Amino acid sequence: MECSALGFVEGAFLLLCAAGGACAASFLETAAHRSVQGRSWWGTSRSVCESCGAVLGPRDLIPLLSALASRGRCRHCGAPIPLRHGISEAVLALVWGLLAWHFGPLYPLIPALSLSALALFHALTDLECGYIYDLPVVVTLALGLALRLPGGVPALLDGVAGAAAGWGVLAAVILASRGGMGWGDALLMLGFGAFLGWKAALLALYGGFAVGGVWAVTLLLRGKAKRKDPIPLGPFLALGAVGALLLGNRVLDWFGFASSWPWG
Lowest mean pLDDT among 45-54, 95-104, 202-211, 227-236: 45-54
> Which tens digit of pLDDT belongs to each residue from 134-172?
999 999 999 999 999 999 999 999 999 999 999 999 999
**Under 8 Å between Cβ of 178 and 211:** no
d(CA 192, CA 39): 26
* Cα separation, 243 vs 239, whole angstroms: 6
Contact by Cβ (8 Å): 212, 233: yes
Cβ-Cβ contacts under 8 Å for 188 (sequence gap 6 or more)? 122, 132, 137, 140, 234, 237
Higher pLDDT: 6 or 127? It is 127
CA dist., res. 88 & res. 77, Å (int): 23
| pLDDT (average), residues 14-26 | 95
Q: So what's the pLDDT on residue 4? A: 65
Show the CA angle centred on residue 235, arms to residues 223 and 61, nearest 5°: 110
DSSP H or E run through 87: helix 83-103
pLDDT, residue 192, reads: 98
Q: What is the mean pLDDT of the chain?
A: 89
pLDDT value at residue 1: 47
Question: How many other β-carbons are positioned within 10 Å of the β-carbon of residue 81?
Answer: 19
CA distance 176 to 166: 16
